[in-house]
A and B are shown apart, each in its own frame.
Chain A
Amino acid sequence: MIKFVNVNKTYPNGTVALIDVNLEIKEGEFVAILGLSGAGKSTMLRTLNQIIDVTSGNIYFSNVDINTYEMFGDNVEKEILRQKSLNPEFDETKLNLQEVDITKIKGKKLRKMRSNIGMIFQNFNIIKRMSVIQNVLSGRISYNPTWRTVLGLFPKKDKEIALQALDRVDILEKTYHRASDLSGGQMQRVAIARSLAQNARILLADEPVASLDPITTFEVMRFLKKICNEDGITMIANLHHVDLALEYATRIVGVREGKIVYDIQVKDKPQTQIIKDLEIVYGRPISHDDFVGEE
Chain B
Amino acid sequence: MEQELLTRIPPKPSKIKFYLTILLVFGIILSSALFSGFSIMEIIRNLKYAFRLIDSMFFPPRWDYADNVIKPLLETVQMAILGSFFGAILAFPAALLAASNFIKIKWVNSVTRVILNFFRTIPALVLAALFVAVFGLGSFSGIVALTIFSFGLISKMTYESIEAIDYGQVEAVISLGGNRLNVFRYAILPQVLPQYISYTLYAFEVNVRAAAVLGYVGAGGIGQYYEIFLNMRRFDFVGIIVLISFIAVLIIDFISSSIRRRLV
**Which of B171, B177, B191 has a CB less than 8 Å from the CB of A198?**
B177
Task: Give Cα distance in the complex from A111 to B177, angstroms.
Answer: 4
Whether the pair B182, A146 counts as a contact (CB closer than 8 A) is: yes
Residues 94-121 of A at the B interface (beta carbon under 8 Å): 111-115, 117-119, 121
Could you say which residues of chain A place their CB within 8 Å of the CB of B187? 127
Whether the pair B175, A118 counts as a contact (CB closer than 8 A) is: yes
Residues 195-236 of A at the B interface (beta carbon under 8 Å): 198, 204
B68 interface contact, C-beta 8 A:
no
Whether the pair B168, A121 counts as a contact (CB closer than 8 A) is: yes
Chain B 169-210 near chain A by CB (<8 Å), digits 1 or 0: 101111111110110011100110100000000000000000
Could you say which residues of chain B place their CB within 8 Å of the CB of A198? 176-177
Whether the pair A126, B172 counts as a contact (CB closer than 8 A) is: yes
Using a CB–CB cutoff of 8 Å, the interface residues on chain B facing chain A are 166, 168-169, 171-179, 181-182, 185-187, 190-191, 193
Distance to closest chain B CB from A230 (angstroms): 21
Contact-size category for A:
20 to 34
Residues 26-71 of A at the B interface (beta carbon under 8 Å): 46, 49, 51
A and B contact pairs by CB, cutoff 8 A, 29 listed: A49-B175, A51-B175, A111-B178, A112-B177, A113-B177, A114-B174, A117-B175, A118-B175, A119-B171, A119-B175, A123-B166, A125-B169, A127-B186, A127-B187, A128-B190, A129-B190, A129-B191, A138-B176, A138-B186, A141-B176, A141-B182, A141-B186, A142-B177, A142-B178, A146-B179, A149-B181, A150-B181, A194-B176, A204-B175
Task: Give Cα distance in the complex from A146 to B179, angstroms.
Answer: 8
Contacts known (A111-B177, A127-B190); A149 close to B172, Cβ less than 8 A: no
Task: Give Cα distance in the complex from A139 to B178, angstroms.
Answer: 9
A16 interface contact, C-beta 8 A:
no
Could you say which residues of chain A place their CB within 8 Å of the CB of B176? 114-115, 138-139, 141-142, 194, 198
Whether the pair B172, A125 counts as a contact (CB closer than 8 A) is: yes
Task: Give Cα distance in the complex from A191 to B173, angstroms.
Answer: 11
A261 interface contact, C-beta 8 A:
no
Chain A 132-164 near chain B by CB (<8 Å), digits 1 or 0: 000000110110001001100000000000000
Task: Give Cα distance in the complex from A119 to B178, angstroms.
Answer: 13
Whether the pair B185, A125 counts as a contact (CB closer than 8 A) is: no
A130 interface contact, C-beta 8 A:
yes
6 tightest A-B CB contacts, nearest first: A142-B177, A115-B177, A125-B172, A119-B175, A114-B177, A125-B168
